[in-house]
Amino acid sequence: MEHMQQEIAVSTPATIAVSSGQPEYRILVLTRRLKMPGLLETMTDQAPEVARVMAKIEKDLAPAMDALEGGPWAVNSHSVSIYNGLVIASFMLNR
């Protein structure tokens, strides 16, 4: 019997103010949980699931940036980590 888990957003976007002048910078963190972290043991198994989760993070990114202190923000750099089935995407924003 297969056990299916419903995917949920792990957290609301978190931001850190890293400057207060011009240009302004913020760090935005978005997270998602992989559906089957225990079953994804090889990179071949992980790649499609990570790509699926990253597509959802990408979809959430623009609305999160627009909602952040009135926007408009641009992504300056980013980092993605996977820890214990959790995909953590950090974005450095500037305007």
Amino acid 6: pLDDT:
46
Amino acid 21: pLDDT:
65
> Quick count: other Cβ atoms within 10 Å of Cβ 28?
20
Amino acid 39: pLDDT:
57
Distance CA 30, CA 10 (A): 8
Q: What share of the chain in percent tops pLDDT 90?
A: 22
Residues 4-47: tens digit of each pLDDT:
444 445 455 656 666 666 788 888 999 988 876 555 566 666 77
Hey, is 24 helix, strand or coil? coil
**Entry field: residues in the chain:** 95
* Contact status, residue 60 vs residue 66, Cβ threshold 8 Å: no
Instruction: Tell me the whole-structure pTM to 2 decimals.
Output: 0.70
Amino acid 91: pLDDT:
93
> Quick count: other Cβ atoms within 10 Å of Cβ 86?
15
Cβ-based burial of 51 (10 A; exposed 0-12, middle 13-18, buried ≥19): exposed
- Amino acid type, 89: A
Rounded to 5 degrees, φ, ψ at 91 are -125, 130
Amino acid 29: pLDDT:
92
